[in-house]
Amino acid sequence: MKIALVRPNYKTHLITPPLGLGYISSYLKSKGWRVTIIDGLNLNLSNDEIANLCQDCEVVGITCLSDFYLEAVDLSKKLKQAGKIVILGGVHPSVLPAESQKESGADYIVVGEGEVTFEELIRALSLGQNPYSIAGVFSLSRQTEFKPRELIVDLDSLPFPDWGQLDPRKYQKAPHGALVKNFPVAPIVSTRGCPYSCKFCASPRFWGKRLRFRSPENVIAEIELLVKNFGVKEIHFEDDNLTLRREHAMAICNLIIARGVKISWATPNGIRADKVDEELLRLMKTAGCYYVVFGIESGNQKILENINKKETLADIEKAVKIANKLGMMTQGFFILGLPGETEETIKNSIDFAKRIPLDRAQFLILDLLPGSALWEEQKNNFVVDYKKESYHEPTWVPDTISPETLKKWQPKAFRSFFFRPGPLFSLIKFFRLSQIKYIINRLKDFKIFNS
């Protein structure tokens, strides 16, 4: 049985190797299966082209986030018309399995962590066995009660992602963080999950608020493989929060230093400001970290309390100042349109971003994600529209602000922050002509020069 693992093409600013597919591919290969990864996003393939590449495959697994749910549904239908067994996985179908299967026509939904569930499913299919009793497999056709899959306890037991099929050298120069220090860039994760319950995030639902760790030795072995075999010069830690356990982050840094790994690295997915201190940040810099991103969300303390952030503006300011003092580049993520948002609180966020020493800031409009606490609270108060552009068009707005006002403030926030000498220099410092089309697309999408 030959298997294809696919990511559809869709509109986005980020084109990075899909680690989830990479892990599933390497796990399946370790069990003897033949697997092909088709990254329609990186290869800029239409769904018809992807379906054509799957002609000799019997089973096709499609990864699916809310950002490209409609593209995944369309691809699933095309593959079903071609007689394929289709399996959907990822956060969106995991939290909305019945809707996802009904609308896509897929045969099965893999709910939650996918490696073991996917392998057990295709093994049952290959042997003609009943797959419906497998934990983590959802189907509207099943006759037994759905059983969730237990999370993998030992992450070191998983093989590294299938980097041979996700070669970082072959990816477009549109990394997380946009303008970075070195190419090729490779993303990795040293942990899975997050114990916090921020109301805008679907991670608590998907991972069950459990945090699991790879050993530092396992992480460094993967970095060394990427450097040696693929010429990687920069690593992006895409953990929900790399520094949540201080000893874990410090051990990784100490191993990078001890083994003389020459690599620059960053945390573009964000870290919590209250989980770093000067000693840790200094060690991170010594180990090659030049760029840290903080999930700030708002410059108004009441807004942070409304979303259960469990962090203070004082925590954030202190961490950013320490990183800046150490010579690290800093960025803050801000979300516009959170519960309680007003024009005044948006101004608070802009003023806070400009007052603390951030080199970059990202101002995104709240996108209510299936699986988040806010989605559950507000799902009866808005009409779901998967056609809208994520982070540009509001899904839902609180009654304290209008959609028109919210949309007006996004480009104003970007202009107010970046049209200053410091942030402009930070962008110019890492600018490359090879990235020009991605930068222009970002400027156009965020309406930086017109609104």
- Both 177 and 121 in one domain: the answer is no
- Both 200 and 292 in one domain: the answer is yes
Is residue 146, in this structure, part of any structural domain at all?
A: no
- Both 246 and 126 in one domain: the answer is no
Does residue 341 or residue 439 have the better pLDDT?
A: 341
Is residue 200, in this structure, part of any structural domain at all?
A: yes
Concatenated DSSP letters of 48-60: HHHHHHTTT-SEE
Estimate the share of the chain in helix, then strand, then coil, as percent rounded to the nearest 5.
Answer: 40, 15, 40
- Both 338 and 245 in one domain: the answer is yes
Is residue 436, in this structure, part of any structural domain at all?
A: yes
Whether the model clears a pTM of 0.85, i.e. scores above it, the answer is yes
- Both 325 and 399 in one domain: the answer is yes
* pLDDT tens digits along 345-401: 999 999 999 999 999 999 999 999 999 999 999 999 988 889 887 777 888 999 999
**Could you tell me the CATH number of the domain that includes residue 132?**
3.40.50.280
pLDDT of residue 85: 98
* pLDDT tens digits along 77-91: 999 999 999 999 999
- pLDDT of 451 > 70? The answer is no
- Both 181 and 126 in one domain: the answer is no
- Both 321 and 416 in one domain: the answer is yes
pLDDT of residue 422: 86
CB 335 within 8 Å of CB 364: yes
- Both 229 and 366 in one domain: the answer is yes
pLDDT of residue 434: 81
Q: Which residue has the tokens 């552009």?
A: 389
Is residue 144, in this structure, part of any structural domain at all?
A: no
Domains in the chain, number: 2
Average pLDDT over residues 17-41: 98
Range of the domain at 129: 2-138
Is residue 179, in this structure, part of any structural domain at all?
A: yes
Is residue 379, in this structure, part of any structural domain at all?
A: yes
- Both 122 and 242 in one domain: the answer is no
Is residue 80, in this structure, part of any structural domain at all?
A: yes
pLDDT of residue 87: 98
> Which of 138, 159, 193 delimits the end of a domain?
138
Extract the tokens encoding 352: 């806070």
Please state which of the ranges 64-68, 437-441, 447-451 shows the lowest mean pLDDT. Answer: 447-451
**Could you tell me the CATH number of the domain that includes residue 219?**
3.80.30.20
Average pLDDT over residues 224-251: 97
- Both 375 and 438 in one domain: the answer is yes
Read off the pLDDT band of 441 (50, 70, 90): confident
pLDDT of residue 431: 82
- Both 129 and 271 in one domain: the answer is no
Cβ atoms within 10 Å, residue 126: 12
Is residue 166, in this structure, part of any structural domain at all?
A: no
Extract the tokens encoding 348: 């608070």
- pLDDT of 203 > 80? The answer is yes
What single-letter DSSP state applies at residue 137?
E
Cβ atoms within 10 Å, residue 83: 8
Query: What is the average pLDDT value for the chain, to the nearest integer?
Result: 95
> Which of 113, 138, 163 delimits the end of a domain?
138
What single-letter DSSP state applies at residue 90?
S
- Both 372 and 280 in one domain: the answer is yes
CB 72 within 8 Å of CB 386: no
